[in-house]
Amino acid sequence: MASFPKILTANWEIPGSHTLAAVQPHGAYSRLKAVFAMTPTQVTDLVKASGLRGRGGAGFPTGMKWSFVPPPEKRGGKPVYLLCNADESEPGTFKDRYLMWMDPHLLIEGMIIASYALGTRKAYIYLRGEFKFVQKRLDAAIAEAYAAGFLGENIQGSGFSLDLYSHLGAGAYICGEETALISSIEGDKGQPKLKPPFPAVEGAWKSPTIVNNVETLAAVPWIIQNGPDAYKAIGVGKSVGTKLISASGHIKRPGVYEIALGYPFKDFIQNECGGLLRGEGFDRLKAIIPGGSSVPIMTKEEVLRSSFDYEQLSTPMDKGGPGTYLGSGGFIVMDDTTDLVVALTNLLRFYAHESCGQCTPCREGCGWMYQILERTSRGESTVEDLATLKELADNIYGKTICFFGPSAAMPVQSFLLKFKGEFLERIGALQAGAV
Amino acid sequence: MSGKTRPVQSTGPKSWSPAQEAEIVEIVARYPTRKAAIMPVLWLAQEHFGWIDLEVMRLVGRTLDLPPSHVHSVASFYTMFKKQPTGKYLIQVCHTLSCWLVGAEQIVKHLEQTLQVDGEGNSADGLFTLMRVECLASCGSAPMAQINDDFYERLTPDLMDQIVAALRAGKPAPQPYVSEWVHPARPV
C-alpha cells in the first residue's frame, strides 16, 4: 500500500491511548482552537471540501448532510441535536468498537467540532446495548474532557458550550438505521420513520438532527488540522480518505485495519490479513462479502479485480462491476470449505430475527425467506421454491420504510444470482436435469 | 421480533432506593423529555431487580409519567431487557456468519453438553443460562460469547471450560483479547 497518514488509528499503539494524559501530547483537542476561530459555516464548508463520506454504510457526503440543517433564523428557536451512531451491529463490522475503545477522545473531539459547526448544545453517543464495557471507558473519557474544559460551559473561552452523553441501546439491530435510532433515543420502540421530513430538518424531538457514524466523526479533527486538500489527496476519485476495514472469516489475521481508499482487495488479503487461512495464494478463495452482511456477495473473480472504492464496487454487473457496496467495511472472507446455502440461511435467520415488524413485506417476507432457506439447506426445496425465494426478495426490495428490507433482500438476490449452481445442486435439481 | 414470547410474570410491588431515585433525577436531566429516559431507567431497573417483570414496568411508568403499556412495548421490543429471570451468568454465544465460519456451533454444542442445559437454556445447577444470539461486533475475534457484560473472544472448547470453571469457583475468568484489534496469527 502506498504510504498514507494514519487518521483514525494514529494513537492506537500508544500505551493507555484511551486516557487524556496519553493522547493529549499527540494532539488530542489541539484542533479546537482553530475551529473556534472559524465560523460554523466555514467548518462545514471545510468538511464538505474534504470529500469525507459517511462511514456507517451509506457513504453520503458528510459536509453536505450537515449543510441540510436549517440556518438559525429558520429553526424557530429549536435546538439542533448531534447523535453519534455507535450502534455497530451490521454482521461483520467491529471497527467502531475498537475506535471508541482505543481512542475515545478522538471521537469526542470530532463531536465537539461537529457540534460547533451545527450549533448543537446537546449531543449523544448511541451505543449498542452489548457495548456496556465500551460505554464505561467512553464515560470515563467524557468525564476527563469535562474536567479539562473541553466539554461543558464556554469551552476554552470560546463562548461555545456543549454537553455530551452516552446512551445505551438494548439489542436491536434496527436502531443503527438513523430514524430508528431517533425513535429509540426519544423513548419509543426503535422503529424507523418515513422520510421526508429528513432528520436534518425534523429529527429527534422534532428538532433538526444529524446522525453520524463514529468513524465519520473521528475523521473530522484530522481534516481540520491538515486541511481538506490533504484529506482528498488520499484515495481515488470520489472515494477519498482512509477507511477502517473489519476483516473476518477465513483469513490468518482477522482484525481492524485502516486502509487508504482505492486499495486493491487482493493486496489487502495478502498483506494485511496474512492471506487465506488455508491453501496457497487465492486458490481456496470462494467468495467475500465486502461491506457487512447486507451488501451483495462477490465471487472470487470479482474479488481479484476489485478495490476499496465506493464507485468501483457499486458499478452494476451489466457495466462490468461487481454490483455491490463498500458499506460499513465489514469484510467477510469465505474459502471453499464454506457451504454458501447454509451461510445465506444463517444471514436470513439474522434478518428474520431483527426485522422491526413495522412493514409487512419485511416482517413477513424475511421470515418466509428464512423458512425456504432452511428447507433448502436440508435439500428439501424445489426449483419453484427457489423462484419464490427470489420473488420474495424482489418484492421486499424498495417496498419498506427503511433500508432494512433491501438489506435482507440483497444477500438473497446476489447469492442466488452468483452462486445459483450451489443452490440447485443442494436440492438435487442439477442431477435431475430439472433446469 | 421473533423468538419465544410468553407472558411476563409479576413478582410483587417494587420501589427504588434513595440512591437510585437520585440517579434517576440525574438521568432525566440529560434529555429534553422524561420519556427519553426510559432506556437508561430500564437498564437501572434490570441491574437492581435482575429482570423486568410487570411490577418493574409499572414502577418505571410511574417514575417517568408513562403508561405501563408504553413501558411494556419498549421493554419487549429490545431483546436485552430480560422479561424472565436467568441464571447468575447469562452466556450469549454469537452464531452469526463470521462466528459460524470459524466454529460457533462447536462452542454452542460443547456448552450444551458440559452445562447440561434444558430446553430453556438453563444449566442443571441453575448457575448458567445459555443463549444463541446474533452478531455482537466481535467478528475478528470469533468465535465469541458475551457473559453478562463482558466479551469472551477467540473461544475454543478448552478455553470455554476454563471460563466456566472459573465462574463456578467464583473466580475471575480469563478474558483475553478485548483490546487486541488484530489477531497476530491464527492457527488453522
Closest Cβ–Cβ partner in B33, B43, B95 for A187: B33
Q: How many whole angstroms separate alpha carbon A269 and alpha carbon A333?
A: 9
Read off the pLDDT of each residue in B98-123 and give the average, rounded to a whole number: 95
- pLDDT value at residue A429: 76
Distance from C-alpha of A351 to C-alpha of A28, rounded to nearest angstrom: 39
**ipTM summary value:** 0.95
Whether A351 contacts chain B with CB within 8 A: no
The predicted model gives A320-348 an average pLDDT of: 98
Percent of chain B with pLDDT over 90: 80
For residue range A274-298, what is the model confidence (pLDDT) as tens digits? 999 999 999 999 999 999 999 999 9
Angstrom distance (rounded) from CA B99 to CA B138: 8
Distance from CA of B115 to the nearest CA of A (A): 23
Share of chain A above pLDDT 70, in %: 98
The DSSP line for B81-150 is S-SS---SEEEEEE-SHHHHHTTHHHHHHHHHHHHT--TTSB-TTSSEEEEEES--S-GGG-S-EEETTE
With H, G, I as helix, E, B as strand and everything else as coil, classify residue A162: strand
Q: Is A343 on the interface with B (CB under 8 A)?
A: yes
Q: What is the mean pLDDT of chain A?
A: 96
Residues A251 and A276 sit within 8 Å (Cβ to Cβ): yes
pLDDT band (50, 70, 90) for residue B188 = very low
Cβ distance of A185 and B36 shorter than 8 Å: yes
pLDDT of residue B11: 80
> What distance in Å separates the CA atoms of residue A179 and residue B40, rounded to the nearest whole number?
19
Distance of alpha carbon B100 from alpha carbon B113, whole angstroms: 19
pLDDT for A404 equals 96
Using a cut of 0.90, tell me whether the model's pTM lies above it.
Answer: yes
C-alpha cell belonging to residue A102? 482505543
* Cell triple for B161: 471450560
**Nearest chain B residue to A137, by CA:** B179
State whether A170 and B151 contact (CB < 8 Å). no
User: Smallest CA–CA separation between B39 and chain A, in Å?
Assistant: 7
Say yes or no to pLDDT of B12 above 90: no
Q: Is A165 on the interface with B (CB under 8 A)?
A: yes
Residue A1 banded pLDDT, cuts 50, 70, 90: low
Q: Angle formed by the axes of helices A360-377 and A383-396, to 10°?
A: 150
B97 closest CB neighbour out of A257, A293, A367: A293
Over 60: is that where the pLDDT of B2 sits?
no
Which pLDDT band, with edges at 50, 70 and 90, does A431 fall under?
Answer: low
The residue of A13, A142, A146, A188 whose CB has the most chain B CBs within 10 angstroms, and thus the best one to mutate to test that interface, is A188
8 Å CB contact of B135 and A91: yes
User: Count of CB contacts below 8 A, A vs B?
Assistant: 180
Query: A434: pLDDT confidence band, cut at 50, 70 and 90?
Result: low
The tens digit of pLDDT for each residue in B116-138 reads: 999 889 998 899 999 999 999 99
Question: Helices (H), strands (E): how many in chain A?
Answer: 19, 11
Nearest to A102 among B39, B142, B181 (CB): B181
Question: What percentage of chain A reaches a pLDDT higher than 90?
Answer: 97
Question: What H or E segment, with its residue span, contains residue A125?
Answer: strand A120-127
Residue range A101-127: average pLDDT?
Answer: 98
pLDDT in tens, A377-411: 999 999 999 999 999 999 999 999 999 999 999 99
Instruction: Please indicate whether, in this complex, the C-beta atoms of A353 and B2 are within 8 angstroms of each other.
Output: yes
* Cα–Cα distance, A354 to B159 (Å, whole number): 30
State the alpha helices, DSSP H only, in A13-153. 20-23, 32-37, 40-50, 62-67, 95-102, 104-118, 132-147
Do residue B139 and residue A93 have CB atoms under 8 angstroms apart?
A: yes
Q: Do A346 and B100 touch (CB under 8 A)?
A: yes
pLDDT for position B3: 45
DSSP H or E stretch at residue A421:
helix A420-426
| Structure confidence at residue A165 (pLDDT) | 98
The per-residue pLDDT for B183 is 81
- Model pLDDT, residue B172: 86
Tell me how far apart the alpha carbons of residues A282 and A286 are, in angstroms, rounded to a whole number: 9
Q: What residues in B contact A93, CB-CB < 8 Å? A: 137, 139
Is the model's pLDDT at A103 over the cut of 90? yes
Per residue in A170-225, pLDDT (tens digit) is 999 999 999 999 999 999 999 999 999 999 999 999 999 999 999 999 999 999 99
Choose the mutation target among A11, A96, A97 for the interface with B, i.e. most B CBs under 10 Å: A97
Smallest CA–CA distance from A274 into chain B, residue: B185
Interface contact flag, A332 B181, Cβ < 8 Å? no
Question: What is the least distance, in Å, from the CA of A46 to any CA of chain B?
Answer: 31
* A252 touching B (Cβ < 8 Å): yes
Please tell me chain A's helix, strand, coil percentages from 3-state DSSP, rounded to the nearest 5: 45, 15, 40
* Cβ–Cβ gap A94/B139 under 8 Å: yes
Strand partners, A256: A246
Question: How far is Cα A105 from Cα A123, in angstroms, rounded to an integer?
Answer: 15
When scoring B95, B96, B98, B99 by the number of chain A Cβ atoms within 10 A, the one with the most, hence best to mutate, is B98
Give the one of A129, A247, A352 whose C-beta lies nearest to B80's C-beta: A129
Per the CB < 8 Å rule, is A346 touching B96?
A: yes
d(CA A311, CA A186): 35
Q: What mean pLDDT do residues A4-33 have?
A: 97
Spell out a b/e string for A263-272, using b for 16 or more CB atoms within 10 Å of the CB, else e: bbbbebbeeb
Are B139 and A248 a contacting pair at CB < 8 A? yes
